[in-house]
Structure 1
Amino acid sequence: MIQLVHEPIDTQAILAAAAHPHAGAVVLFLGVTRQLTAGRETESLDYECYPEMAICKLRELEEQARAKWPLLHCVVVHRLGHLEISEASIAIAVSSPHRRAAFEAGQWLIDTIKEVVPIWKQENWQDGSREWVHPGTGLPKAT
């Protein structure tokens, strides 16, 4: 299940979607808005994307993860719009018969999503400045 949402992420619904009677492991990862980034104080974040492109790429990654690991379910939900400190921007839940596959798949998914999915993050700093962080680089571009 792949979703882009504008409302807060419902972690209970995500865990329910990842549940499976053959699962010995369900791993949930949440990426949340942190207050400090490289010593700078973050006020908030804004996420934007071209939804059709982002969903297409997320589906490709889901297929790749399923080919690499014996996953029963794979759920990726990314939030768009304005996020305050401590709000989740992404949730990834994977279930598998054994924990190692679930942990490895979850980590691979978040690392790869941050590299290749065209979802753009704007860092809104406490001092009033803003910077866009481009996928794959992790580097901000001043605005």
Structure 2
Amino acid sequence: MNQPFIKQEKIRFQHVDYAGIVFYPRFLEMLNCLVEDWFEEALDRPFSKIHETNGIPTVDLKVQFKKAARLGEILTKKLWVQNLGGASVLCGFRFEDEAGKTCLEGEVTLVNVAFNEDRNGIKAEPFSEEMKQKISKFVI
């Protein structure tokens, strides 16, 4: 059975607001870091290389905030694939605190795109068969 991609992140001062809890846009930055780490570490497609010719923008995002996360806590961030299309991938994600309680969860749709020569336009481009095989290892 396939497993999710998992990373941990410590809540730092830069993540929190005056109340000492994670300011909600910082969760989205953490999600972006999770996606970037997944592409680099698990799919062998680092963003530094992707963006030479392609992109992988977020085109849809659904998030439910379930519980506050506080300064000093360690979050376990999980990402898995719910649906792999020709040029898109629908991923589920969940961030859990040290007790295993969900802080946030949701879905993110990413689309593989190619830049045109002058970089003023982009269009969806199907994933290669090799990339589809790598991504499919995270279908749950």
TM-score past 0.5 threshold: no
| The structure with more helix, counted as a fraction of residues | 1
With normalisation by structure 2, the TM-score equals: 0.31
